[in-house]
Amino acid sequence: MINLILFGPPGSGKGTQAAKLVEKYNLLHISTGDLFRYEMGNDTPLGQEAKSYIQKGELVPDSVTIGMLRNKVEANPDVEGYIFDGFPRTVAQAEALDALIEKMGTSISKLILLNVEDDEIVTRLLERGKTSGRSDDQKEDTIRNRINIFKNETSPVFDFYAEQEKAVQVEGLGSIDDIFARLCAEIDVLV
């Protein structure tokens, strides 16, 4: 199995590239944002629990997020691997993810960081904000805050996998096809 973590700040191109990787490698794309929307939209027990935290303005505990991931993974046992997008965000989540997939007899193959300069991310997200309807894509100071949160809180996950010799950086600038080719070069060595 190929199990990838597609990593990078908001606007680095994870969603765009994940769609192309899913098609080429027959992987299941697991986006935590999509999981939350599905579980809450279908009013599942985990969705109700997540909603109760969100309504109080609190972070959803890792146990709830891991539960949602477990449901998605267990519902799709016949795929050739997974692309995790938006997860893990902390070292504790990385450890929980490792434990979850180790129970399936597999492990994370590689974390790939899409490396994009801050100013480019701001430009991309402001452009996306014109059509996405997302308020967090429409103000430069909000976008820069999201980038800083990623750097300060989420970057240790890169170091966690780097210690296992499973983390690489890929240049996230250029055409979609150029970036895709760089990602494929990193993945093809796993096959």
Which amino acids are annotated catalytic? Answer: 14, 89, 128, 134, 146
3-state secondary structure 113-125: EEECCHHHHHHHH
Kindly list the distances between the CA atom of residue 185 and the CA atoms of 56, 101, 166, 178, in Å, as whole numbers in the listed order: 44, 24, 15, 11
Collapse the DSSP code of 25 into the 3-class scheme (helix H, G, I; strand E, B; otherwise coil) and give the result. helix
Q: Give the Cα separation of 168 and 114 in Å (integer).
A: 9
- Please provide the DSSP assignment of 80-126 as one string: SEEEEES---SHHHHHHHHHHHHTTT----EEEEEE--HHHHHHHHH
Q: CA 34 to CA 139: how far, in whole Å?
A: 23
Backbone angles phi, psi at 65, to 5 degrees: -60, -45
Give the position of tokens 């308020």: 135
